């Protein structure tokens, strides 16, 4: 399931760095923090680590991929939720495949297929994966949790890109491959569950080197995906961070897939004169009271 891994992986460590949490220091600028998130985790046995929470409290502002406190970003998502052309599934799936997908949409997502079939495939993919995670209780939406806390604490929230820019990233990927991934995920719930559980366990172990090996083993390699989803965005983000970080102490929370590699945020920030110190985390430490 090449795209099952890839579509979720820009939310999860794709590196050999060994950690997902870093202290950022620069001789001339305030201390900041970089935390790689996995957008969906099962709770309540999993919590945001205490030292991560403290770093967030100590920082003046939150920097995220998209500022979802901005109503304009919500409107952009709502206005562009449908894939163009809207009959894309008719063009890429056989009648039998459409019947199979229709059954899964109505059984799993509990929504009428005619109302869902125009939605972008990566969004449908995410909905299926969210259902397949099989959380026994609540789900921890890590990025949303930080945004909510920032809003409550009246911290400034800064978005590194707009919702429209993020949607355009997926527009640059082959639609046929996105549809193939959607069908694979929808029709293979048990395989998807196993893969998601493995990814979650690797992320929670704070061992991104092991996760990196896992990703390489599971994916067939999608250079176009890596270029559009990771590399190009990382370089744009660092350009913005060069303007943001000198001003205020910042807590940066982005999909951890953006951290590692030669064009990852860690390397790019180091090239800008930042010292990045890895900090170990324990996602389950807070569950023992």
> DSSP for 31-43?
EEEEEEE-SEEE-
Which residues have CB under 8 Å from 192's CB, separation 6+?
1, 4, 128, 129, 132, 185
Whether the pTM exceeds 0.75: the reply is yes
Higher pLDDT, 70 or 200: 70
- Mean pLDDT, to the nearest integer, of 68-83? 92
The tens digit of pLDDT for each residue in 223-270 reads 677 777 788 999 999 999 999 999 999 999 998 778 887 888 999 999
Q: Do 118 and 83 form a contact (C-beta atoms < 8 A)?
A: yes
Angle at alpha carbon of residue 203, lines to 198 and 206, rounded to 5°: 135
Report how far apart, in Å, the C-alpha atoms of 154 and of each of 51, 102, 158, 247 are.
20, 44, 13, 17
Q: What share of the chain is helix, strand, coil (3-state, %, to 5)?
A: 55, 15, 30
Find out whether 173 and 228 touch, Cβ atoms under 8 Å: yes
Distance of alpha carbon 289 from alpha carbon 232, whole angstroms:
43
Q: pLDDT digits over 193-234, tens only?
A: 888 887 788 788 776 555 555 654 555 556 677 777 788 999
């Amino acid at each position: 399931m090449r795209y099952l891994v890839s579509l979720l992986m820009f939310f999860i460590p794709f590196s050999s760095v060994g950690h997902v949490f870093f202290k950022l220091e620069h001789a001339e600028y305030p201390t900041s923090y970089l935390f790689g998130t996995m957008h969906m985790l099962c709770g309540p046995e999993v919590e945001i680590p205490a030292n991560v929470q403290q770093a967030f409290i100590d920082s003046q502002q939150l920097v995220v991929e998209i500022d979802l406190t901005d109503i304009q970003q919500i409107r952009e998502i709502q206005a562009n939720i449908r894939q163009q052309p809207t009959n894309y599934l008719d063009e890429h799936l056989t009648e039998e495949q459409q019947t199979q997908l229709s059954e899964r949409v109505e059984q799993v997502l509990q929504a009428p297929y005619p109302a869902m079939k125009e939605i972008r495939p990566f969004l449908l993919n995410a909905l299926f994966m969210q259902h397949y995670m099989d959380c026994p209780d609540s789900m921890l939406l890590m990025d949303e949790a930080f945004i909510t806390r920032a809003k409550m604490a009246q911290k400034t929230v800064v978005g590194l890109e707009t919702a429209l820019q993020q949607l355009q990233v997926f527009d640059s990927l082959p639609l046929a491959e996105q549809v193939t991934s959607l069908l694979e995920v929808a029709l293979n719930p048990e395989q998807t569950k196993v893969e998601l559980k493995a990814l979650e366990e690797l992320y929670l172990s704070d061992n991104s080197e092991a996760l990196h090996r896992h990703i390489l083993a599971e994916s067939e390699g999608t250079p176009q995906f890596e270029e559009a989803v990771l590399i190009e965005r990382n370089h744009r983000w660092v350009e913005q961070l060069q303007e943001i970080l000198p001003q205020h102490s910042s807590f940066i929370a982005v999909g951890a897939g953006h951290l590692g590699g030669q064009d990852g945020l860690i390397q790019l920030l180091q090239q800008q004169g930042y010292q990045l110190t890895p900090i170990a985390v324990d996602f389950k430490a807070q569950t023992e009271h």
